[in-house]
């Protein structure tokens, strides 16, 4: 039995005298201590599932089954816990990072399971497979210099994300034949060049009026709204979503839920339990992790302390054998008491469990300037850690300039030090569905639309030009350099709540320079200070269409003066300068 396109299921239903595979030929069966070998090799980094039936019953938050997997060539080891998947049913999900033979041995306090062993063979993906599904390059991690994310094979990961906090709900449904709204959404975002999806494993609880969460095809997360009674069918429907996301090459940026905002369904102890459970259940998939949505509300509404949040982070890391990057998602509101204002880094940057930063910049137009200001503040921190803009100003039809503001944020984020940008739209992130059968329509906000209409908003399409231009360069070497821009003879000012016209600039050593010029600069003289004397090929890049125009007369650039923009000069434009003598640009 293969549960979805690529996940391999080794279904080991242990009875008194047998251990059998379903859909995998049984090679050996030893009656004393059960030993099996998978006949077909599995592909490196592909999620694989084994299932066990236990003799005893255990609470869902305990992990009575653990496998030690050992690579025969290198001696590398992984210790993977199995998770509760229904009464007396435990599932082990793992993704093996090296080609070759791996042996495994089960350790359990359940006498029926303890001591079972076997061998699996892993093969490397082909280049075509890795191009088709970048997740076969391995789990993303922070780069050695702490400025960006990269796959396990070293290839930089360009984090361009879309936001769907409600992806695991009945209204974002699977459909009967992979034809539901969930798949329609994934296919649309794939076609527009997104590489990541920002999600919550569970919707409802703190951030909406459903205190026991919102349902999916399997029902609600907890039977009868009792946190002691986990509903495995709910998480099995989430399994299908996670596998489909992985199959399409997306990385998830995920937190369990909003642990507070309107109510406190989870106390601190149950939050630790569900966080550990989700880390174990979904650790084989590729992702960046966050402890909670808008964590400050746990302190305001549920009286959690900073110490308790640190403890939660340490618990998650104890169940993180793949070392997924871990952070915490802040509120964008600056009203919180120090150090928990509008940047989670002010409280947690030096925490032992924390290894990258998430930003929220605010849902009001005067807060757009925070896209640059908060990215710059985090970029300057020591030790260096990647930062992503995980929640910016959502696109909404009530804003007459919603398309412009969407692309402004993306360009501004990347050129000011962000390692990733999460686009979002009102109507999509809550997957607003007014005719939901049980009234779980999704959170109503000013400017929300039916999800299908919101998904078609133009701002999402204009994310692709950002990725196309930056991916044509060694973008991971970009250094924020807006201080090199001179506006009307004066140093380039930072954006403010009243003025987002100042340009932004990123520099790649002596190889390239990218200058984003927002609207409102048609009558300004713009100059690049201390422009190197190398020969540059200069292009105008249209951030709406990705069209490039060679600047044939670039003599002015010898003095650093930026030439006039093309037609529609008061629109936003991107200036691309490529050093023609750079080894990087000769390739």
Q: From the CB of residue 366, how many other CB atoms can be counted at a distance below 10 Å?
A: 11
CATH of range 8-126; options 3.30.70.60, 3.20.20.140, 2.60.40.10, 3.30.420.40: 2.60.40.10
Edge-to-edge strands of the sheet including 83-84? 8-11, 48-53, 89-94, 83-84
Run of H or E residues at 507: strand 504-508
At residue 420, what are phi and psi to the nearest 5 degrees? -170, 155
* % the chain with pLDDT above 70: 91
Residue 282 has a pLDDT of 98
- Maximum pairwise Cα distance, the chain: 84
The SS3 call for residue 295 is coil
At residue 423, what are phi and psi to the nearest 5 degrees? -70, 155
Q: Of residues 508 and 21, which shows the higher confidence score? A: 508
Residue 25 has a pLDDT of 26
pLDDT tens digits, one per residue of 11-26:
433 322 222 222 222 2
Instruction: Please tell me the distance from the alpha carbon of residue 220 to that of residue 429, in angstroms, as a whole number.
Output: 20
- How far does Cα 125 stand from its chain's mean position? 23
pLDDT tens digits, one per residue of 64-119:
999 999 999 899 999 999 999 999 999 999 999 999 999 999 999 999 999 999 99
Residue 563, C-beta contacts closer than 8 angstroms, at least 6 positions apart: 538, 551, 553, 554, 556, 557
pLDDT tens digits, one per residue of 155-213:
999 999 999 999 999 999 999 999 999 999 999 999 999 999 999 999 988 777 788 89
Averaged pLDDT for residues 28-41: 46
For residue 398, give the DSSP letter.
T
pLDDT at 295 over 70: yes
pLDDT band, very low/low/confident/very high, at 510 (cuts 50, 70, 90):
confident
CATH code of the region 149-471: 3.20.20.80
> Which of 408, 396, 514 lies closest to 447 in space, CA to CA?
396
Averaged pLDDT for residues 471-490: 97
CATH code 3.20.20.80 region(s) in the chain: 149-471
CATH code of the region 477-586: 2.60.40
- How far does Cα 376 stand from its chain's mean position? 21
Angle, to 10 degrees, between the axis of helix 232-247 and the axis of helix 181-191? 30
pLDDT at 435 over 50: yes
Instruction: Please tell me the distance from the alpha carbon of residue 452 to that of residue 429, in angstroms, as a whole number.
Output: 11
Residue 531 has a pLDDT of 85
CATH code 2.60.40.10 region(s) in the chain: 8-126
pLDDT at 32 over 70: no
The full DSSP string for 430-470 is: TT--TT-TTS------TT---HHHHHT-HHHHTTHHHHHHH
pLDDT at 375 over 80: yes
Instruction: Please tell me the distance from the alpha carbon of residue 266 to that of residue 75, in angstroms, as a whole number.
Output: 41
pLDDT at 31 over 70: no
How many CA atoms does the CB half-sphere of 449 hold within 13 Å? 17
pLDDT at 464 over 80: yes
pLDDT tens digits, one per residue of 220-278:
999 999 999 999 999 999 999 999 999 999 999 999 999 998 889 999 999 999 999 99
Residue 405 has a pLDDT of 98
Run of H or E residues at 191: helix 181-191
Residue 248 has a pLDDT of 98
pLDDT at 445 over 90: no
Instruction: Please tell me the distance from the alpha carbon of residue 576 to that of residue 516, in angstroms, as a whole number.
Output: 9
Instruction: Please tell me the distance from the alpha carbon of residue 511 to that of residue 506, in angstroms, as a whole number.
Output: 11
Q: Do the beta carbons of residue 484 and residue 502 sit within 8 Å?
A: no
Average pLDDT, the chain: 91
The angle at the Cα of 138, spanning 136 to 140, to the nearest 5 degrees, equals 130
pLDDT band, very low/low/confident/very high, at 1 (cuts 50, 70, 90):
very low
pLDDT tens digits, one per residue of 44-58:
999 999 999 999 999
Residue 418 has a pLDDT of 98
**Prior bond of 75 cis (ω within 30°):** no
**Prior bond of 339 cis (ω within 30°):** yes
At residue 24, what are phi and psi to the nearest 5 degrees? -130, 125
Q: Do the beta carbons of residue 521 and residue 503 sit within 8 Å?
A: yes
Q: Do the beta carbons of residue 456 and residue 185 sit within 8 Å?
A: no
Q: How many helices (H) and strands (E) does the chain have?
A: 13, 30
Instruction: Please tell me the distance from the alpha carbon of residue 166 to that of residue 231, in angstroms, as a whole number.
Output: 18
Q: Which of 31-40, 385-394, 419-428, 464-473 has the lowest mean pLDDT?
A: 31-40
pLDDT band, very low/low/confident/very high, at 7 (cuts 50, 70, 90):
low
Instruction: Please tell me the distance from the alpha carbon of residue 468 to that of residue 238, in angstroms, as a whole number.
Output: 32
Q: Which of 24-28, 34-38, 147-151, 502-506 has the lowest mean pLDDT?
A: 24-28
pLDDT tens digits, one per residue of 333-357:
888 999 998 899 999 999 999 999 9
pLDDT tens digits, one per residue of 532-559:
766 789 999 999 999 999 987 666 677 8
Q: β-pairing, 156-157 with 149-150?
A: antiparallel
Single pTM value for the model = 0.93
């Amino acid at each position: 039995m293969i549960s979805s396109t690529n996940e391999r299921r080794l279904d080991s239903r242990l009875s008194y005298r047998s251990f059998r595979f379903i859909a995998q030929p049984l090679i050996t069966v030893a009656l004393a201590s059960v030993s099996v070998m998978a006949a077909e090799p599995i592909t490196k980094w592909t999620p694989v599932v084994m299932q066990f039936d236990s003799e005893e019953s255990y609470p869902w938050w305990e992990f009575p089954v653990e496998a030690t997997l050992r690579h025969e060539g290198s001696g590398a080891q992984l210790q993977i816990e199995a998770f509760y998947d229904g009464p007396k049913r435990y599932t082990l999900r793992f993704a093996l990072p090296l080609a070759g033979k791996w042996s495994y041995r089960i350790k359990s306090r359940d006498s029926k399971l303890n001591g079972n062993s076997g061998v699996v063979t892993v093969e490397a993906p082909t280049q075509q497979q890795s191009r088709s599904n970048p997740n076969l390059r391995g789990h993303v991690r922070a780069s050695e210099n702490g400025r960006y994310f990269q796959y396990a094979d070293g290839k930089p990961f360009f984090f361009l994300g879309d936001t769907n906090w409600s992806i695991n709900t009945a209204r974002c449904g699977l459909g009967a034949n992979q034809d539901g709204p969930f798949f329609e959404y994934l296919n649309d975002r794939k076609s527009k060049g997104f590489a990541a999806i920002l999600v919550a494993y569970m919707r409802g609880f703190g951030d909406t009026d459903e205190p026991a969460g919102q349902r999916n095809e399997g029902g609600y997360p907890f039977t009868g709204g009792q946190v002691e009674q986990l509903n495995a069918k709910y998480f099995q429907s989430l399994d299908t979503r996670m596998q489909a996301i992985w199959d399409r090459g997306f990385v998830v940026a995920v937190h369990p839920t909003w642990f507070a905002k309107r109510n406190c369904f989870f106390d601190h102890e149950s939050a630790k339990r569900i966080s550990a459970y989700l880390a174990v259940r979904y650790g084989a998939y590729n992702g960046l992790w966050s402890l909670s949505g808008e964590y400050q509300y746990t302190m305001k509404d549920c009286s959690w302390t900073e110490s308790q949040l640190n403890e939660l982070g340490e618990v998650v890391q104890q169940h993180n054998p793949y070392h997924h990057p871990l952070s915490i998602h802040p509120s964008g509101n600056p009203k919180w008491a120090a150090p928990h204002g509008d940047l989670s880094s002010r409280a947690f940057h030096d925490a032992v469990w924390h290894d990258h930063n998430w930003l929220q910049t605010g849902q009001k137009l005067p807060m757009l300037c925070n896209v640059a200001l908060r990215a710059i503040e985090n970029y300057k921190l020591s030790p260096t850690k990647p930062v992503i803009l995980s929640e910016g100003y959502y696109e909404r039809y009530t804003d007459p300039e919603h398309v412009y503001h969407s692309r402004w944020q993306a360009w501004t984020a990347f050129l000011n030090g962000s390692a990733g940008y999460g686009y979002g739209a009102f109507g999509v992130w809550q997957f607003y569905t007014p005719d939901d059968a049980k009234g779980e329509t999704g959170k109503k906000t000013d400017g929300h639309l039916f999800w299908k209409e919101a998904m078609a908003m133009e701002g999402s399409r204009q994310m692709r030009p950002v990725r196309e231009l930056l991916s044509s360069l060694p973008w991971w070497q970009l250094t924020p350099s807006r201080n090199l821009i001179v506006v009307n003879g004066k140093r380039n000012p930072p954006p403010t709540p009243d003025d987002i016209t100042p340009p932004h600039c990123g520099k790649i050593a002596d190889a390239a320079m990218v200058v984003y010029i927002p609207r409102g600069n048609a009558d300004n003289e713009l100059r690049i200070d201390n422009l190197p004397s190398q020969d540059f090929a200069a292009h105008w890049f249209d951030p709406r269409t990705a069209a490039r125009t060679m600047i044939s007369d670039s003599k002015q650039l010898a003095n650093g003066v930026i030439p006039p923009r093309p037609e529609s000069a008061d629109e936003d434009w991107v200036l691309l300068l490529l050093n023609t003598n750079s080894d990087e640009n000769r390739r």
